[in-house]
Amino acid sequence: MRRLFPDPAPLDDDEGLVEAYRCPDGRWLRMDFIASLDGAITVDGVSEGLGSPGDRRVFRVLRALADVVLVGHGTAAVEGYHPVLLGSSVGRLRESIGRHPTLPIAVVSRRASLDPASSLVVDAVSPTILVTCAASDAGRRAALADAGVDVLVCGDEDVDLPTALDALADRGLEQVTCEGGPQLLRSALAAGVVDELDLSISPALVGGEARLLDGAPGGALPLSLRQVLEEDGMLFTRYSVG
Ligand SMILES: NC(=O)c1ccc[n+]([C@@H]2O[C@H](COP(=O)([O-])OP(=O)(O)OC[C@H]3O[C@@H](n4cnc5c(N)ncnc54)[C@H](OP(=O)(O)O)[C@@H]3O)[C@@H](O)[C@H]2O)c1
């Protein structure tokens, strides 16, 4: 891994990568995505086919630096999300930088679709959080709370993301890494709550319809390039939003 911009330099170890991805202190929301050169975000319906060993290291570093992982229910379901466990590679990296080895996953779902029997609920060490709204089924919310999920009702008809981020911050979860997907990215941009986009650009042409955004964010949104890393032809970019 090497840094191309700013200040070209080799980045050979986890320590260097952790420093390259640190956020300013306090509340911060970063969106973490991988896309092909033509903007596709999946191969055969999941993101794995775009990845590389370097991308998996960056993914691990972003989780290690975060207080909480935020993810849309669509992504959590399709990508088969599991909780972060003690002794996992993320857990070991977190411990090496002086952090608690686990962190919660917060699933955003208007309909409270999280399955109480899923690994995210049953196996979680740091209890999984459900971010939903009052319009979701009260019985589903109660069943999830009974199963140990921390249920946050943020908004009436739909999830209000600024309220959700306030509720997470109230729990001390200020530094948020959001792992998508496209619907959640679009709503977060529309709500004006995104501080940073970390986009890994895979050197491949894929085609297909799954894109970074599932609709227009409301006019072209200019971003500012902060950093570019490279390994095996994969570019790892950090952009500031707003
Ligand atoms: N390449 C990458 O980096 C990357 C990253 C993430 C995902 N993906 C891919 O993207 C695809 C999933 O796309 P998607 O658009 O379905 O993902 P998504 O945004 O994760 O999920 C959509 C679902 O999440 C909930 N949701 C999302 N935003 C919400 C909001 N603002 N308010 C309330 N609920 C919200 C809703 O769940 P309910 O229906 O339960 O209410 C909605 O149906 C998968 O194929 C995945 O592999 C790729």
Spacing, Cα 105 to ligand 1 middle (Å): 14
> What is the per-residue pLDDT for 213?
86
Pocket of ligand 1 (CB under 6 A): 33-35, 41-42, 45-47, 72-75, 78-79, 108-111, 113, 158-159, 179-184, 187, 210, 214
124 vs 219, which has greater pLDDT? 124
> What is the per-residue pLDDT for 216?
76
CA–CA separation, 203 vs 2, rounded Å?
16
* CA 157 distance to own-chain centroid: 24
Percent of the chain with pLDDT strictly greater than 90: 93
pTM: 0.98
Q: Which of 94-103, 201-210, 215-224 has the lowest mean pLDDT?
A: 215-224
In the structure encoding, which two tokens stand for residue 114, read together? 């999280």
Spacing, Cα 72 to ligand 1 middle (Å): 4
Identify the DSSP state of 48: G
Q: pLDDT band at residue 26, thresholds of 50, 70 and 90?
A: very high
Average pLDDT, integer, range 172-183:
97
Determine which residue's CA is closest to atom 47 belonging to ligand 1: 46
Average pLDDT, integer, range 115-144:
98
Q: Which atom of ligand 1 is nearest to the CA of 112?
A: 40
Neighbouring CB atoms inside 10 A of 176's CB total 25
Domains of the chain, earliest start first: 25-211+222-241 (3.40.430.10)
Average pLDDT, integer, range 122-128:
97
